[in-house]
Amino acid sequence: MECLFCKMAAGEFPVNKIYEDEQVLAFHDIDPQAPVHFLVIPKKHLESLAAITEEDSQLVGHMFAVIAKVAEQMGLEKGYRVVTNCGEDAGQSVQHLHFHVLAKRSLAWPPG
């Protein structure tokens, strides 16, 4: 089975795009858990956080820079949460590294 997020990154599956460059894609979550909920994915297929190597460190750093840029553009100055699920027990439902960005509501601690 082909990866859904790889299809999204390749433009083969429609998304509500927020940001795109040669390395990453950011788009609104289809099942938002907060008034603002978007995902940032690498275009390179990485199964999860556990698959990241030193070679991927620049890509992951770029993903966080994109998160900060998009958060600023969306006016999230009061704060936001960045979450990634790694593996089945953590609730990872798509086997492609992705960061959830949630904002515009109170986010309790500890999470879920």
Judge whether 54 lies within some domain.
Answer: yes
Catalytic residue among 28, 96, 98, 100: 98
Judge whether 111 lies within some domain.
Answer: no
| Residues of the chain under the 70 pLDDT cut | 1, 112
Judge whether 112 lies within some domain.
Answer: no
Cβ neighbours of residue 20 closer than 8 Å, sequence gap 6 or more? 26
Judge whether 33 lies within some domain.
Answer: yes
* Domain of residue 66, residue span: 4-103
Q: What is the CATH number of the domain that holds 28?
A: 3.30.428.10
Tokens for 112, please give them: 């879920």
Judge whether 32 lies within some domain.
Answer: yes
Work out how many domains the chain is built from and give that number.
Answer: 1
pLDDT of residue 110: 87
Per-residue pLDDT tens digits for 24-40: 999 999 999 999 999 99
Judge whether 58 lies within some domain.
Answer: yes
pLDDT of residue 2: 85
Neighbours of 88 (CB within 10 A): 10
pLDDT of residue 112: 66
Judge whether 110 lies within some domain.
Answer: no
Active site includes 28? no
Judge whether 38 lies within some domain.
Answer: yes
